[in-house]
Chain A
């Protein structure tokens, strides 16, 4: 499984959605139930999957599927 597939699987599991739902509009304003518990569950899973430790400000930035990709790029995770 490549890194993008890993990221997609995490999003799908945390938000109980199909992979086809993951697009530029998938964010904390548009996705029902995207609260702090879901966001922290997301970042914890990402940290475990990619063996990284996100800074506090990057956890706060994890507010959309696209932002997640940008944050991961900072940690040299190639998607």
Chain B
């Protein structure tokens, strides 16, 4: 069973950066006015920030990281671990975490790792970094979670383009024997990998000029080539409304948490309104405990959960202890739930760069 109770690790800070290019649904040329209205009302994503071609996820994360390190007053030399959770790294090789170690001026003794785990990125980053810090030999970790998912697919794919926004988040974890445990459970359904994938570009199907750029019209405004990321909307929807609620319910039971009394907020991956609404409805979660930010940022992949913290909960994170139940699901297919209890977290405002 993939379940951890991570001791002695506290969340110290969180912030994020988005590119200065807001795009409304009606701005997409493949939507009619009526299409855009239906999309806004049904999918709930009315705005998203899209990175230009010369901005990578690492650039957004770098900005967030620099601000967070300064805000916390951490010495760069004191950081032992750097995790970069992203599916849009700078290069195929080397890992982007190493490049960020250099850009941020972190010591050569830093442990770095890339985690290309998509929408569960934050849960994976906390699982890995939390377990690395738990024994106390390493004290501080910087978690950089971000993507420029808008650049992964075909610009003519109406089923994918309007869903995603770009962002880079930074979270800081620190060894602290006074902290409360972080409980995480993760799951995998590898048989469903084709629901969210980029068919060409890996070593199974390397990019070739003969077939990787062959655009095909799949109907309903979906035009893409094998080099482009694809999303099978109905399969993903079916997965997302079935698996995560079971995981959340199980975690609440295992932790002895009453959803109405013991939990301050449920931070649910902001895939789209239809999915989040349905999880809420299925578990009968109190609506006031489920913040949304997808209307402003779209689906941010792994960055969803820290963006909810930064955009929706910044003031409360800094002023009172919170019990957060976080649910993520996506690429893989993977899904999981985390119970995170926070104490006076530094939550810096979002930067639009």
A residues near B (Cβ < 8 Å) are 16, 33-41, 44, 53, 56-57, 59-60
Contacts and interface: CB of A to CB of B under 8 A. Distances in A.
B159 A35 contact: yes
A39 B236 CA distance: 14
A36 B162 CA distance: 13
A66 to B, nearest CB: 18
B-side binding surface: helix, strand, loop or mixed? helix
A44 B42 contact: yes
Contact of A56 (B39, B41, B220, B238): B238
A33 B221 CA distance: 8
Interface in B199-234: 220-222, 233-234
B220 A59 contact: no
A16 B274 CA distance: 21
A35 B220 contact: yes
A59 B38 contact: no
Contacts of B281: 53
A40 B44 CA distance: 12
A59 B237 contact: yes
Contact of A36 (B34, B41, B234, B241): B234
13 contacts: A35-B159, A35-B222, A35-B233, A36-B234, A37-B39, A37-B42, A37-B233, A39-B234, A40-B237, A44-B274, A56-B237, A56-B241, A59-B234
Contacts of A40: 42, 237, 274
A36 B233 contact: yes
B38 A37 contact: yes
A38 B38 contact: yes
A43 to B, nearest CB: 9
A14 to B, nearest CB: 8
B220 A60 contact: no
Q: Which of B39, B234, B281 has the most CB of A within 10 A?
A: B234
From DSSP, what is the main secondary structure of chain A's interface residues? helix
Given A44-B42, A56-B241, 19 more contacts: A33-B220, A34-B220, A35-B220, A36-B233, A36-B234, A36-B237, A37-B39, A37-B43, A40-B237, A44-B274, A53-B281, A53-B282, A56-B238, A59-B234, A59-B237, A59-B238, A59-B241, A60-B234, A60-B238
Contacts of B277: 44
B248 to A, nearest CB: 16
**Most central of B233, B277, B281, B282 by chain A CB within 10 Å:** B233
A38 B159 CA distance: 11
Interface string B273-284: 010010001100
B242 interface: yes
A34 B222 CA distance: 12
Contacts of A39: 234
Interface string B15-41: 000000000000000000010001101
Closest 9 A-B residue pairs measured CB to CB? A36-B233, A35-B220, A56-B238, A41-B42, A56-B242, A40-B274, A36-B234, A56-B241, A37-B42
B285 to A, nearest CB: 14
B196 to A, nearest CB: 13
Nearest to A34: B220
A37 B311 CA distance: 27
Max chain A Cβ within 10 angstroms of own Cβ: one of B159, B221, B237, B241: B237
Contacts of A56: 237-238, 241-242
